[in-house]
Structure 1
Amino acid sequence: MKLSTVRVDPPRFETPALIPNLLQTLGRSLTSTNEPTPPLTPTAAGSPTSEELFFKLAHSENAPLGSPSEPSFTRKLNQPKSRPRSPPGPAEISEDAQGPGDGYFALPPAPTRHREKRRSSASERPFKGKTWHIERTDQGNGGLKNAVEAAIADGTLHDKTWVGTLGFPTDSLDESVKVAIEGRLREDCDSIVAFPSDKDFDGHYNHYCKEILWPVFHYQIPDHPKSKAFLDHSWKYFEAVNRSVADVIIKDYKRGDTVWVHDYHLLLVPMMVREALGPDAKIGFFLHVAFPSSEIFRCLAHRKQLLEGMLGSTLIGFQTEEYARHFLQTCSRLLCLEARNDGVQLDNRFITISISPIGIDPIQLDQKRKEEKVTEWLEALKTRYAGKKLFVARDKLDGVRGVRQKLLAFELFLKKHPEWVGNVVLIQVALTTTSIVELQSTVIDIVTRINCAYATLDYQPVVYLHQDISYYQYLALLTIADALVVTSLRDGMNLTSHEYVYCQDQTHGPLILSEFTGSASIFNGAEISVNPWDHSRCASALYQALTMDPAEKKQRWDKLYSAVMHHTASYWLRTFLDELERAWVEQQRCGSTTIPRLSTKSLVDAYENSNKRVFLLDYEGTLASWGSPTSIILTSPQRTLDVLHDLLLDERNIVYIMSSRTPEELERLFHRVPDIGLIAESGCFMRKFKSGQWTRIADEQLPWKKSVREILEYYVERTPGTFVEERNCSFIWHYEKSEDSTLAARQAGECCNHVNDSCESYRVHAVPLGGTVLVESRDWTKATAAKTVLELTAEGGSAVDFLMVVGDGRDDEPVFSWANDLATDGEVKSVTTVKVGTKNTQANATITGVAGGLLFFFPQHFPFSVWRLSFPLLAIAA
């Protein structure tokens, strides 16, 4: 199996990436910044300041500093600069040029003289005539990289190919250089590369991904005055890069390959690949960041395209149950799809949802922290901060990491607990980002205020490093810390907290963790959970961490460590691929192209060799076309009733008709066949075989009906031309004849979402069904009624050895599944499940026909009596 793992994230390649020979050394200056820094309080003679301590490290080491699980350890590369600086504004857009997909927007051409001058510039061909080599980069998605490496090391993964873009602009490369790069990457690094234009990539990553998708996915609402979500002209660049990556996958794909797409940068790739490769392709998608609620996601201008892009997958993975639920609600609300707890039902396939929190690689981390440089810096930090308690934090300085909230909480802590002044230090590493300048200035102002208020000659309460540190220092800090403080406002899976827990195997320091991180969902309260917006609670958490009893520390750490060691990177990769394989097998089994047509010979043989037969036949869409009872009676009911009557002539046959209609309607339709069994309102009522009495299977009292009725009436008032049909145990909102079909479809999605959210505790769900919304209970279905039928039949003394289920709708699928399980378990000798139509199904056979009646099949070599008993349903209406 070849695993194509796809992700775009600067530098644009997770695995060994191409870097020119002019790569600078990796030393960092931790003091250079354009913003004013807090004044430093003089320290005791001969003792370096905290900044000096870290500064010495940064200038004394040249080894790669990337974290195994964090992508942000910064290295500056001397690479050719990209010519495009920003996407064109709406007034500059031209559609004359055509590119990948539906085309891309291009700037109006510059004057010829300037273009000729640029072409003659030496910087246009920086690789021409020069040698180059490939170096490994530590940037990108470290968690994904570690997971793949760990899986290869333990034998879980044997063959993989990375797909991505290069780590520098490529417009200046000659075609011969590109070909050489492709060959070297494929041969040496198991990698294939896409070459989008610099302009496309700049617009894709720096504008659409970082200024639109990233804020929205992290709950920064687009109607904020500073939001750039309205600049949707960068959407074309997002499409172009996704198309570029998808085309590379399609070109390299071999039958049997697994395609695994990663993160929000490539949301459109699954559907692009699906459209080219067809229903047999095995495509997984994993979202490494949060997925917002439908209220936030619906603000995106291209929300429908983004969702449909994801739905090209076989399996979609999320970090937490919350993110998965948000996605399902969004699909229900915006696309009016049937969203179940385990996935999304489309017409032709079912997309499975997986909850798979990513983790760290403990083996690699353990090797790193045993290195001599980590020990050296651990000793240096112990000497520098002897007698002090250390709060440690490392975050990107952007709007979602909660650095400002953390500093305010620490300031409040010092005010509330002055006895700790001089004895506790907060070391805050703030990674430089392209975030708003106002946030950086605010953070620096708070740091200055705290240090001015509480610093002494030998004490500085906040050590603020507005740049990254080396990985050796990072591990030393995690080891020596008395507590790690994570106050993210939104976060996918905060792997810094996992690494901290692993490094605390000796001292068992507490973990202060925001409840809005994905990691909080797997730690189960062993952390000190905080709401970053509640500064008072955060301050109390800091005090709790410092004063916690050692026994409690150990107890909490044991639980944290157990979770970290269970949810490892290798386990995440293995479980996701296993679930993808199961989802693909199930999807192929239910695909209409793989399910055989009903075999008449096999059916006749099973029928003739059986002694007790049960038929469960759906009514609407199977025995008759959809419509009112009156119209059905006037079309072809007599032929249907004659066949059912003939089927009942054999005493070994038991026949039940299943329907979503009310008992009264079924009585009128089948009064000419008095002995037949009837199942009404999708399993809520039953008239037993050869009995004229109806039995209510559902509860007499349905407390949810009043609430549901009020919700449906709310939407009826706001959608002209619609009405509600109330049945004994269900409601149907009809909007197929609404005055505004677009409005009605949108309201239907809203209605399903509203009912499913409000009445979840009642076990009620709303399902869109082509022009209607059905609201019914989850506890009583056709499947539960079918089980009752089999139990009643078994009470007669003879076991059922022939079972045939025929249906055409999504509410028949649970019956198919139940019947197939009976065959698998050997409870019934012969089971035949038949789907009418071509949609995906769990039935083991399909048939097609003409809507509105029965198409009789009469093989001349069978006796008439056998035909009358065996073939009334072989060509039932679609």
Structure 2
Amino acid sequence: MVSRSYSNLLELASGDSPSFGHVGKRLPRVMTVAGIISDLGEENSSSVGSDAPSSMSQERIIIVGNQLPVRAHQRPGNEGWSFSWDEDSLLLQLKDGLGEDVEVIYIGCLREDIEPREQDDVSLTLLETFKCVPTFLPPDLFSKFYHGFCKQQLWPLFHYMLPLSPDLGGRFDRSLWQAYLSVNKIFADKVMEVINPDEDYVWVHDYHLMVLPTFLRKRFNRVKLGFFLHSPFPSSEIYRTLPVRDELLRALLNADLIGFHTFDYARHFLSCCSRMLGLAYKSKRGYIGLEYYGRTVNIKILPVGIHMGQLQSVMDLPETETKVAELRDRFNGRMVLLGVDDMDIFKGISLKLLAMEQLLVQHPDWVGKLVLVQIANPARGRGRDVKEVQSETYSAAKRINDTFRRPGYEPVVVIDTPLQFYERIAYYVIAECCLVTAVRDGMNLIPYEYIICRQGNEKLNQTLQLDPLVPKKSMLVVSEFIGCSPSLSGAIRVNPWNIDAVAEAIDGALAMRESEKQLRHEKHYRYVSTHDVAFWANSFLQDLERTCKDHIRRRCWGIGFGLGFRVIALDPNFRKLSVDHIVSAYKRTKNRAILLDYDGTMMPQTSINKTPNPEAISILNSLCKDPKNVVFLVSGRGKDTLSKWFSDCPKLVIAAEHGYFLRQTDNVEWETCVPIAEFDWKQIAEPVMKLYTETTDEIAGLEVYSFWMNSWELTMSEPDILSTNVQATYCPSVIYRPILPSDLDVLEQIHANLFPIRYEREFFLNVVNGHGIVSWGAIDVGPNRQSDELIGFVTTRVIAARESEIEDLLTADASRKDQTLVYILTLGVVEHYRNHGIAGSLVREVIKYASSITNCRAVYLHVIAYNQPAINFYQKMQFKLVRRLNKFYYIKGQHYDAYLFVYYVNGGRSPCSPLDILSTAATYIKGMLKLLATKLWKKDEKKTPRWSKCKESNTLLVTQNKRIIGSDSAVCQCV
């Protein structure tokens, strides 16, 4: 039987319009039992495939995960099932990020086994009551799928655990892979029961369903499909050990949008696509995209958040208040160090206990004062690894307690029984510090929950006898290998393998000043409370909608078999070149010019032997024999090589070295298009090219030396290697222009990535519309000048000199009402484009603009005191550092000093005001008197000459012929 993908391949070859994936305008919304669709309001229910439009236009999202967000409870006497929402499920919580008019359908498995005779009733109940479509899997298939391939193959590998032996991770088992495919196929069938592919969005979650995008794309090539990976994605060196690596990558690339928690995970995925599939990504307007057979697969980087409403509602429960009071009395004033982890080999529980032991050894003052409470949730997997973790945890806890136990005091408390959510929250509330030592974790929301719970509420404050006017505090010590670590800038990050460092970090966190704990807590609370699960879901779905907005205009063909299936997307105006039309036109014409390229056309780029074969020579001679034909061969190769290769084609016109040399026939001398040329540059270029060739594979970095050019053939090496070697020579093609309204989104995103200060949207609207703000943007137009990517910017405002803080530093006439200044508000360049002089060019645009204003006297700006690279940059640009401003910036609850820089234009600089002259003279005289006094005392070893050119002073101490330079301040106030 001919498959659909093969039939579409025939359509593509024939030039016909694609029929694959064609569906009706709208599938009906009302379903009775999963898979049986009834069209209410229609006389004939069999017309679901018709083109009759539906009147129902409600937006719908199909969320697919391994487990449904519901809990099943069997009624007494085994008489049916009752169901309730699982409030802890992320799939349920993300609904808060959707509009109230958005319909959500869930597809997944139940945690409980349902007898086959009950499955129809359960399906109907879940669909009608919860809008859930359950996926029922046979127990043996589920075991191979989940406990086999997912937990023994993907889970360890994605957490950087290689199967080095049968006992460590397990060898690859093809039967488990087949079970994984079978389950994904079953999920695809369930999606088919409810999807309206032209309008519905499908959001697939996590590594259990990584090949589902291929099965869905094969059914509907225009399906709007997003995928989010909640686990880490390993580096290419780890991932490439997976025998089915290409299949999984290609399956994911059948999605429209792929999401990751962190930039590292996304970078690893892109690296795998580059090294294994040869795909290069592009970044445009802040978005990362992979071009895959005409489709753009976008990459989304955004960590998930927590459900604020759920946490706050549980904190308000009376049970929570009671539990907090119980724990307060139990620990009786002792500090609580809290750990909450699954009993998993990657959670680092044993490392945490070792750090606690080391802390009590190195800092015995904590004995009797500090308690580590380790909540060990039941393991999600099973096997010998879990038992080893349990054994190691219990033995370490026992050893620590035996060593440091005191009457009424045990330093380690391990809780391995399931806790109610309110009980866990109570532990968060009373914990002074939260410790996470996971060696690998996709995200880990425990620190987020801890931060919100430490904020507390009025009742909990009363229970703990806390002053409501005193700011809340919290401390975090987290592993640098977990997904939430980059988002928690106030946390103490540690390498969990370094036991001594973790112990010192715990000590530092507990002994930190109260004010510092409060500032860090405020910073974290502000971020976590605003970047919750609703924000995450809304952002992902907005990007998915943007990515899929042009699906309806695509002309698509499905090509390939099995997991090699992919969709080729072509421009709507694409038409197959008709051979009959070409032959007809060829016969009608009297004169024909036939232009042929060699490498990549007549000879494949990947071919090692580039010499033309006899068949190619024969075809060329056949074309050249026709007196109506003039056949041109164009190549970048040298004239000597081409003359040798095509010596048997006397009538062939050859253009060598990309047209620099031209030969009409074999008995005519070579001509040059440029009569006079200088080649001194080759003496500089050749050593550089040889250097990079030596660091690259000899075949991949083959140098082609021609008469007028040197070039590489970068053909057979991994793209990452070539990119790394040649990166040093990369220089973007940049133009400078005013910032436009079309730059709004990317401008906001770059601002958010570069600056600690958050600007209101009104500021960005004023920038792009030029309302009171003058701006310039640095635009990377690409090598072909077809791109338009904003990579840097500077924003300024023109203000009156008399209203500025540098009025006293200007010439006397600059204080007149008509005199102005240009104030630089923000300046930034995307990190990848730095060190190319872009920032300097932007500043020069500002200076040129200020100089063109007749009554403008200076350009000035502020720099936060700790930004040493910016300070060095402006000093290099000849800006004058004129003042240090104490506590100028207030960022996230903390004050920072600033430096004031000025660049004078149009004669605006004053050498010094009379007051400054007197002050400088007095300081100089004072220093001379002190110097004279030391000479009179004849104590050379203690003389302390002082000098000053400004209000701040530097001191030179001379002691036993050694000079020690000390300073009261790093900068001068007046220069």
Whole-Å separation in 2 of the counterparts to 1:555 and 1:661: 65
| Aligned: 1:262 with 2:205 | yes
Equivalent residue letter for 2:277: L
Whole-Å separation in 1 of the counterparts to 2:390 and 2:688: 51
| Aligned: 1:135 with 2:193 | no
Q: Which residue of 2 aligns with 1:507?
A: 472
Q: Which residue of 2 aligns with 1:762?
A: 728
| Aligned: 1:288 with 2:230 | yes
TM, length-normalised to structure 1: 0.61
Instruction: Give, in angstroms, the shift of residue 325 of structure 1.
Output: 0.8
| Aligned: 1:560 with 2:510 | no
Instruction: Give, in angstroms, the shift of residue 356 of structure 1.
Output: 1.6
Q: Which residue of 2 aligns with 1:214?
A: 155
Shift in alpha-carbon separation, 1:203–1:564, aligned structure 2, 3 A:
same
Q: Please show how residues 630-669 of structure 1 align to structure 2 within 5 Å.
A: 665-668=657-660
Give the conservation status (yes or no) of the 8 Å contact 2:65–2:204.
Answer: yes
2:430 to 467, 480, 486: 480
Instruction: Give, in angstroms, the shift of residue 543 of structure 1.
Output: 0.3
Equivalent residue letter for 1:305: E
Instruction: Give, in angstroms, the shift of residue 704 of structure 1.
Output: 7.1
| Aligned: 1:147 with 2:147 | no
Equivalent residue letter for 1:575: S
Q: Which residue of 1 aligns with 2:242?
A: 300
Shift in alpha-carbon separation, 1:417–1:283, aligned structure 2, 3 A:
same
Give the conservation status (yes or no) of the 8 Å contact 2:624–2:630.
Answer: no
| Aligned: 1:165 with 2:109 | yes
| Aligned: 1:570 with 2:534 | yes
Give the conservation status (yes or no) of the 8 Å contact 1:21–1:131.
Answer: yes
Q: Which of 1 and 2 has higher RCO (CA within 8 Å, sep 6+)?
A: 1
The higher radius of gyration belongs to: 2
| Aligned: 1:331 with 2:278 | no
Give the conservation status (yes or no) of the 8 Å contact 2:257–2:300.
Answer: yes
| Aligned: 1:731 with 2:743 | no
Give the conservation status (yes or no) of the 8 Å contact 2:733–2:782.
Answer: no
Give the conservation status (yes or no) of the 8 Å contact 1:338–1:346.
Answer: no
| Aligned: 1:200 with 2:200 | no
Q: Please show how residues 693-772 of structure 1 align to structure 2 within 5 Å.
A: 705-706=689-690, 708-713=692-697, 716=699, 724-726=702-704, 731-734=712-715, 748=717, 751-756=718-723, 758-759=724-725, 762=728
Q: Which residue of 2 aligns with 1:739?
A: none
Instruction: Give, in angstroms, the shift of residue 146 of structure 1.
Output: 1.4
Superimposed CA distance per residue, residues 712-733 of structure 1 (whole angstroms, 9 cap, x where no aligned partner): 336x4xxxxx882447675324
Give the gaps of 5 or more residues in structure 2. 1-58, 456-470, 556-568, 576-594, 605-609, 639-654, 665-671, 737-780, 791-975
Shift in alpha-carbon separation, 1:568–1:634, aligned structure 2, 3 A:
farther
Shift in alpha-carbon separation, 1:623–1:144, aligned structure 2, 3 A:
closer
Whole-Å separation in 1 of the counterparts to 2:182 and 2:207: 15
Superimposed CA distance per residue, residues 327-350 of structure 1 (whole angstroms, 9 cap, x where no aligned partner): 111122223333446233322322
SS at match of 1:491: coil
Give the conservation status (yes or no) of the 8 Å contact 1:156–1:574.
Answer: no
Give the conservation status (yes or no) of the 8 Å contact 1:491–1:517.
Answer: yes
Instruction: Give, in angstroms, the shift of residue 504 of structure 1.
Output: 2.2
Equivalent residue letter for 1:5: I
Whole-Å separation in 2 of the counterparts to 1:290 and 1:701: 43
Instruction: Give, in angstroms, the shift of residue 517 of structure 1.
Output: 0.7
Superimposed CA distance per residue, residues 773-825 of structure 1 (whole angstroms, 9 cap, x where no aligned partner): xxxx46369x99xxxxxxxxxxxxxxxxxxxxxxxxxxx9985954999xxxx
Shift in alpha-carbon separation, 1:710–1:134, aligned structure 2, 3 A:
same
SS at match of 2:548: helix
Superimposed CA distance per residue, residues 813-844 of structure 1 (whole angstroms, 9 cap, x where no aligned partner): 985954999xxxxxxxxxxxxxxxxxxxxxxx
Superimposed CA distance per residue, residues 375-418 of structure 1 (whole angstroms, 9 cap, x where no aligned partner): 11111111221221110110011110010000000100000000
Q: Which residue of 1 aligns with 2:464?
A: none
Shift in alpha-carbon separation, 1:624–1:212, aligned structure 2, 3 A:
closer
Give the conservation status (yes or no) of the 8 Å contact 1:725–1:734.
Answer: no
Equivalent residue letter for 1:21: R
Give the conservation status (yes or no) of the 8 Å contact 2:429–2:450.
Answer: yes
Please say which of residues 266-275 and 155-164 is displaced more in the overlay.
155-164
SS at match of 1:344: strand
SS at match of 2:435: strand
Q: Which residue of 2 aligns with 1:366?
A: 312
1:185 to 94, 102, 126: 126
Equivalent residue letter for 2:702: V
Give the conservation status (yes or no) of the 8 Å contact 2:145–2:180.
Answer: yes
Equivalent residue letter for 2:339: A
1:275 to 218, 224, 234: 218
Equivalent residue letter for 1:361: H
SS at match of 1:375: helix
Give the conservation status (yes or no) of the 8 Å contact 2:732–2:782.
Answer: no
Equivalent residue letter for 2:157: V
Instruction: Give, in angstroms, the shift of residue 427 of structure 1.
Output: 0.4
Give the gaps of 5 or more residues in structure 1. 23-125, 599-617, 646-657, 673-686, 717-721, 736-747, 764-776, 785-811, 822-878
Shift in alpha-carbon separation, 1:760–1:670, aligned structure 2, 3 A:
closer
Q: Which residue of 2 aligns with 1:462?
A: 412
TM, length-normalised to structure 2: 0.56
| Aligned: 1:540 with 2:595 | no
SS at match of 1:504: helix
Shift in alpha-carbon separation, 1:378–1:338, aligned structure 2, 3 A:
same
1:13 to 60, 68, 71: 68
2:573 to 596, 601, 614: 596
Equivalent residue letter for 2:659: E
Q: Which residue of 2 aligns with 1:802?
A: none
Give the conservation status (yes or no) of the 8 Å contact 1:147–1:360.
Answer: no
Shift in alpha-carbon separation, 1:184–1:290, aligned structure 2, 3 A:
same
Give the conservation status (yes or no) of the 8 Å contact 2:714–2:722.
Answer: no
Shift in alpha-carbon separation, 1:371–1:819, aligned structure 2, 3 A:
closer
Give the conservation status (yes or no) of the 8 Å contact 2:401–2:410.
Answer: yes
| Aligned: 1:354 with 2:293 | no
1:779 to 707, 722, 732: 732
Instruction: Give, in angstroms, the shift of residue 363 of structure 1.
Output: 2.7
Structure number with the higher strand fraction is: 2
Give the conservation status (yes or no) of the 8 Å contact 1:242–1:268.
Answer: yes
Shift in alpha-carbon separation, 1:323–1:242, aligned structure 2, 3 A:
same
Instruction: Give, in angstroms, the shift of residue 158 of structure 1.
Output: 1.3
Give the conservation status (yes or no) of the 8 Å contact 2:478–2:492.
Answer: yes
2:338 to 392, 401, 405: 392
The Cα RMSD (Å) is 4.2
Q: Which residue of 2 aligns with 1:496?
A: 446
Instruction: Give, in angstroms, the shift of residue 275 of structure 1.
Output: 1.0
Whole-Å separation in 2 of the counterparts to 1:304 and 1:578: 29
Instruction: Give, in angstroms, the shift of residue 565 of structure 1.
Output: 2.7
Whole-Å separation in 2 of the counterparts to 1:621 and 1:562: 61
| Aligned: 1:376 with 2:322 | yes
Q: Please show how residues 671-690 of structure 1 align to structure 2 within 5 Å.
A: none
Give the conservation status (yes or no) of the 8 Å contact 1:208–1:235.
Answer: yes
Superimposed CA distance per residue, residues 431-459 of structure 1 (whole angstroms, 9 cap, x where no aligned partner): 12234322211111110010001111111
Superimposed CA distance per residue, residues 347-373 of structure 1 (whole angstroms, 9 cap, x where no aligned partner): 232211111211112233222212221
Whole-Å separation in 2 of the counterparts to 1:18 and 1:451: 40
